[in-house]
Amino acid sequence: MSVDAWTLLRNTERGVRARGLRAAAAAIREDASELVAIAAAETSLSAARLGGEIERTASQAELFADLIDEGSYLDAAIDHEAPGAPELRRMRVPIGPIAVFAAGNFPFAFGVFGGDTVSALAAGCPVVVKTHPGLPETSRATHLVVRDALESNGFPVGALRIVTERDAGRALVEDPSVAAVGFTGSVSGGRALFDFAAARETPIPVFAEMSSTNPTVVAPEAAETDAEELAEQLAAAVTASAGQLCTKPGLIFIPESAATLIATISGRIADAEPQPLLSPGITERYEHRLDDWRRAGVRALVDGRATSQGQTAMLGITSLGELAGTLEEEVFGPAALLVTYRSLDEVPGTLRALGGQLTTTVRATGQDLDAIDELLDAAASTSGRVIVNGVPTGVRVAWATTHGGPYPASTNASSTSVGASAIDRWMRAVTWQSTPDRFLPDELREDPRSRVPRRVDGVWEGADA
């Protein structure tokens, strides 16, 4: 980890960091065709899907550039001196070098220049990325494009580095210069990093986004009146990208009387084309998880199997009373489990018992809208994002986004790995007491060169105040 890069980057003006991020966004757009071709060869994902991901990644960098320029992320506050009380000036500062572990299912949006990386760079923290072993060439190519753009636009040399060795992960977390860790992947991987970080002489936070079944609850009237639309939307969400999305709806709660919906969604799932999974290891784990379902007594409405073109999707069905153990755990791949209930009143308690989730979705219409308060309360108490009459796939990158949740969805329920607030993970608050103006950060001075939103003596002032 480059200590020099940390010293230089944390003292770089906000405008310089914003310019660098916009330049990196422009660079990956310019080289999109080459990057997509490399990633397609390593993942079997379609060029259309990867091209959309390039645009998402570039737009994400531009969002953080806008955030830096706007300045509210600093949470600046000033309390002027009062009789018997000293002057206090407070804002957030970057915490230090960050280790990021790239994911395999989103080669760009959660890769070398994904949300963890770009939010840390925006905060003023240098980043070392542990690349995903399934994406060696994609990672190298992305790093070269982004690194050159950053360093040509004011970022210090070494602000973004990669390590590719398979056994480098633990050493990276245990490096005493590393201040925090970002991770996207499995519970076992995230928990291992969490434990390594906690065992350090100086423990550091690990922000790991891990596992979620993303429960979807279909209320009775919606199941009866919207069966066609529901089946189409849910089947698409289950099979998109071969089900290798962390927001895939894996548990779908439906009334036991919803015969039309069951038949319709079964047909849609059965019609889905086989798709190759990202790696042989993922394929093997997916097949083992389907075997777990079968051993647990799940009845297959559509039986997933391996073909020469890839994996077919699986749709199983069980009852609320039989939902336990391995059936409550995520299956990474094109599989979903229908869970039948007798009364909607049974479901909120089950949602709470399932534990932390990235998302929970409620589908309701008509009179059922008057009966979902308890469902929504249970969803909000266990999930980072609550969806009403939508699907959980397709995470919008925006100011109000939360992509996280209570354990095991993540290791820190108060954080998000997507959206503007992702920058909060890489910052800490510092208060300057009775400090002369010339020693303060510009944003806290009485007459700053670059104004940001500030709370002054309890009154909020905008950047143009």
* Residues with a known catalytic role: 209, 246
Name the phi and psi angles at 283, rounded to 5.
-60, -45
Please report which helix (H) or strand (E) contains residue 310, including its range.
Answer: strand 310-311
Interior angle at CA 199, CA 195 and CA 204, nearest 5: 80
> In the numeric block, which tokens belong to residue 320?
């609320």
**What's the rounded Cα separation, in Å, for the pair 9 and 197?**
24
**What's the rounded Cα separation, in Å, for the pair 193 and 209?**
12
Cβ atoms of 156 and 8 within 8 Å: the answer is: yes
Strands (E), 160-255: 160-163, 180-184, 206-209, 216-218, 251-255
> In the numeric block, which tokens belong to residue 257?
């009387």
Beta carbons within 8 Å of 459's beta carbon, 6+ residues apart? none
DSSP class of 77:
E
Cβ atoms of 104 and 132 within 8 Å: the answer is: yes
Interior angle at CA 439, CA 433 and CA 444, nearest 5: 65
